[in-house]
Amino acid sequence: MLKSSRLGAYAFLAPSLLCLALIIGYPLVSAVSASLYRWNLMSGLHRWHGIGNYISILTDPATGQVAVVTVIYTVLSVVLELALGFGLALLIRQGLARKLMGFPLMRAILCLPVVIAPLIWAFYFRSIYSPQFGFFNIVLGWLGLSAVPWVNSPALALYSLVIADVWQWTPFMFAVILAGLLTLPGDVTEAARVDGASFRQILWRIELPLLQPVLLVAVLLRLIDALKNIDLFIVITQGGPGTSTEILNFYAFSTSFQDFQVGRGAALALIVFVIIMVLVMLLLASMRRFSRAESKA
Amino acid sequence: MKLRLLYIVAILSCLIAVLPPLWAFYVSLVVHRPSGGGLGFDNYAEVFSQQAFWGSLWHSFATAMSATVVSVLLGSMAAYGMTRFGRGFNRLALVILAIRMIPSIVLVIPFYLLFRNLGLLDTISGLAVIYLTFSLPFAIWMIRGFFAAIPLDIDEAARIDGASSWTVLWKVIMPIATPAILTTAVLIFCFCWNEFLFALVLTDQNALTFLPLLMRFVPPQGPLYGQIFAGSTIYFIVPIIAIALIRKQLEGSFTAGSVK
């Protein structure tokens, strides 16, 4: 019985597993093999290079700059999203808890940016940042201030992209944290309040520790997504000015499809892959711990 | 917190959230006529008159729809296999979740090289197959959660009446899970609808979807924002309507999925 039921399970799983093995397994193997060649699609050069691509990436002085840009972009975006998302979630929860008019609707409106295609969002911000007719510089003009070269200065461009990322994805953090807050056991906080705990004490001592697993999962999800972001870079800066916004993912893309060095590009893409898979392992581990804690409760 | 302050901050946040799309909507309405500027629907008329716009909308829709249907069907079967035969398949479920997170960049290079050899570049079916790399794992993961919540007694009752597992899945479980599966389908459709990198690299003319089409509205002297935003406004209304339809369901599943 057990054996036949196991067979039954695999009969239903087989189509999906077969499909995934083909469309995930094949490209991964093929990417590894491509990364071992000096391979240029324009010149037709295709020669065995061993781990030469990896060595040249690791020894290239430009790589350090790419790493710094990638870390600044992802960490800064996610930290800001966490802080703002948390604040917004507390705010909207206040309104929802008091059953104030309009708050359910505002909760929905705040989530709107997440639904818009990141590429379209990138065009929004390219336009908002444009030097003469962009929204920001028009507003600065009204206020009598001088225009700011949002994405045209190497010092500012990366931070302008962080703003665009934060603007779109804070709502994601907000939605997840609010959902977490709303499902916290009300009786515990109520008991603390009766005992005279202040709002701040309840937040730091009770709610934050209870929310910690949700926050960890949300932060890891956003880190993974921020590392994968490419639309902003393709549309707004193309890695420039100079190399000031050359994030690793975009670097892999431009090496492969603008310089047509697919061997080196594949090596870079595999580095992105490994970094993301490490984060995914952390994510899965924290989710498991989380579900175990939940089943105990 | 004071009631008034609460409202002010909340409303201000909402305004900030919708500012970029509102700005874009405004830009899409600005017209430059020889007789002088103003607001009007000229950009919309211009975009609507282009064959490529309607073609790309169809390509986006056809690709997203095919990927959605295939992933929901295969995903339901896999989810049934994972929840109905005694074993938990917890580890497999985590592997499937990990697959969903694989960055597109590492897949797009091999697919580009493969499709170039197979002549599958610039086809809707080729692009739809690639969308399965993220939509199928997502479907399995989501539907597995929904199926696990359906009591096994229901299957057993049907089994006693002589139904095979195949019949139980399609005639008993699927109808019960329809709202949840529709939610999953809408989300998958939106992911595919908003996907850019694969579409940019793998389509060109015959299967060009809407988002890579936008890149062609960027001549060297700068993007044609009016037309880009006129098209985008039409484009993003689709996911907004879709999500609005399943909003109640989504908020519910958010709650069910997080801490008790």
Q: What is the pLDDT of residue B90?
A: 86
Domain boundaries, chain A: 60-296
Instruction: State pLDDT tens for residues B40-94.
Output: 899 999 999 999 999 999 999 999 999 999 999 999 999 999 998 877 788 899 9
Query: Which of residues B88 and B150 earns the better pLDDT score?
Result: B150
Q: How would you write chain A as a 3-class SS string?
A: CHHHHHHHHHHHHHHHHHHHHHHHHHHHHHHHHHCCEEEECCCCCEEECCCHHHHHHHHCHHHHHHHHHHHHHHHHHHHHHHHHHHHHHHHHHHHHHCCCCCHHHHHHHHCHHHHCCHHHHHHHHHHHCCCCCCHHHHHHHHCCCCCCCCCCCCCCHHHHHHHHHHHHHHHHHHHHHHHHHHCCCHHHHHHHHHCCCCHHHHHHHHHHHHHHHHHHHHHHHHHHHHHHCCHHHHHHHCCCCCCCCCCHHHHHHHHHHCCCEHHHHHHHHHHHHHHHHHHHHHHHHHHHHHHHHHHHC
Residue A231: list chain B partners with CB under 8 A.
196-197
Q: What is the pLDDT of residue B161?
A: 86
Label residue A3 by pLDDT band (50, 70, 90). very low
Q: Does B1 touch chain A if contact means CB atoms closer than 8 Å?
A: yes
Residue A134: list chain B partners with CB under 8 A.
none
Contact A95 B6 (CB under 8 A): yes
Q: Are B98 and A277 in contact (CB under 8 A)?
A: yes
Q: Are A162 and A80 in contact (CB under 8 A)?
A: yes
Residue A1 has pLDDT above 50, yes or no: no
For chain B positions 183-242, those within 8 Å of chain A (CB to CB) are: 190, 193-194, 196-197, 200-201, 211, 214-215, 222-223, 225, 228-229, 232, 235-236, 239-240
Q: What is the pLDDT of residue A8?
A: 84
Residue A85 has pLDDT above 90, yes or no: yes
Best mutation target, A12, A165, A167, to test chain B (most B CBs within 10 A): A12
Residue range B133-150: average pLDDT?
A: 93
Q: Does A186 touch chain B if contact means CB atoms closer than 8 Å?
A: no
Instruction: State pLDDT tens for residues A25-83.
Output: 999 999 999 999 989 988 888 889 889 899 999 999 889 999 999 999 999 999 999 99
Size of interface A-B (CB pairs under 8 A): 253
Q: Phi and psi dihedrals of B85, rounded to 5?
A: -125, 30
Contact A6 B87 (CB under 8 A): yes
Name the minimum distance, in Å, from the CA of B103 to any CA of chain A: 6
Contact A117 B130 (CB under 8 A): no
Stated pTM of the model = 0.91
Instruction: State pLDDT tens for residues A176-216.
Output: 999 888 888 778 888 888 888 888 888 888 888 888 888 99
Give the residues across from B33 on adjacent strands: B36
Tokens 């966490």, located at residue: A82
Q: Does A171 touch chain B if contact means CB atoms closer than 8 Å?
A: yes
Best mutation target, A18, A111, A120, A173, to test chain B (most B CBs within 10 A): A120
Contact B21 A112 (CB under 8 A): yes
Give the residues across from B37 on adjacent strands: B32
Residue B229: list chain A partners with CB under 8 A.
123-124, 127
Name the minimum distance, in Å, from the CA of A142 to any CA of chain B: 16
Tell me which residue in B77, B97, B190 faces A12 most closely, judged by beta carbons.
B77
Rounded CA gap, A75 and A86, in Å? 16
Contact A91 B6 (CB under 8 A): yes
Contact B259 A9 (CB under 8 A): no
Residue A293 has pLDDT above 80, yes or no: no
Residue range B140-145: average pLDDT?
A: 92
Best mutation target, B9, B109, B135, B167, to test chain A (most A CBs within 10 A): B109
Domains for chain B: give ranges and CATH numbers.
51-257 (1.10.3720.10)
Q: How many residues does chain B have?
A: 260
Q: Does B13 touch chain A if contact means CB atoms closer than 8 Å?
A: yes
Give the residues across from A133 on adjacent strands: none
Superfamily holding A60-296: MetI-like (1.10.3720.10)
Contact A10 B1 (CB under 8 A): no
Query: Which among A222, A201, A199, A216 is positioned nearest to A80, based on CA atoms?
Result: A222
